[in-house]
Chains A and B, each alone.
Chain A
């Protein structure tokens, strides 16, 4: 079974520029997540999709971040305009269970991440 795919793996931009990240989840996984991981910290959830609908975006800085999951499969995360503090690794994860069932149904599988550096 193929894992979660992300691209690009690395991105360097100037502040105030825009950037987009792409994620392809594991086939058949209804739930998709985007996390931000700042150096030395654990991942922080930005947004959660259930199929193509948003379940939770309470921690997404909506003035500059946006995400979509058209057709309930691939997803893109965009930052516009980028700030220095956005430098981080952006992780995509997916899980099988559409709702919280407890236990293994909601186990999340992560992609390798995109390392963003904002200069």
Chain B
């Protein structure tokens, strides 16, 4: 199973872009990168996923490096409600097991 490395915490000013990095240097060719977030006292919420191309949806953008060894989740205009723990997960091939690490605690400040 590929493992991920994320910084334990980050701060971001409200209205600015939040860029959350993730290293997954041992990722396999058929493994996807998923991002979830968990707001206090709630279950994890799906944000976005990708294989090798950059992806964008209404919540965020996902930038995956060409060698796929790292990725960055971008929240283009962070709000106070984006304060949460953000998890970068590499999907284990062959089943639906999501291996969560400790994630990055993002604090958006006014």
- Which residues on A are within 8 Å of B, measured CB to CB? 4, 31, 33, 40-45, 48, 55-56, 91, 93, 95, 97, 100, 102-104, 106-113
Contact = CB atoms under 8 A, between A and B. Distances in A.
Given A41-B102, A42-B100, A42-B103, A100 B46 contact: no
B91 to A, nearest CB: 7
B102 A103 contact: no
Interface of B: 30, 32, 34, 41-46, 49, 51, 87, 91, 93-103
B43 A91 contact: yes
A55 B95 contact: yes
B42 A56 contact: no
B98 A45 contact: yes
Residue from B32, B97, B101 having most chain A Cβ neighbours under 10 A: B97
Given A42-B101, A102-B30, A102-B32, A95 B44 contact: no
Contacts of A100: 93-96
B46 A109 contact: yes
A93 B94 contact: no
28 contacts: A31-B96, A33-B96, A42-B87, A42-B101, A42-B103, A43-B44, A45-B98, A48-B95, A48-B96, A56-B97, A91-B44, A93-B44, A95-B96, A97-B96, A100-B96, A102-B91, A103-B32, A106-B96, A107-B34, A107-B49, A108-B96, A108-B98, A110-B44, A110-B45, A111-B43, A112-B42, A112-B43, A113-B43
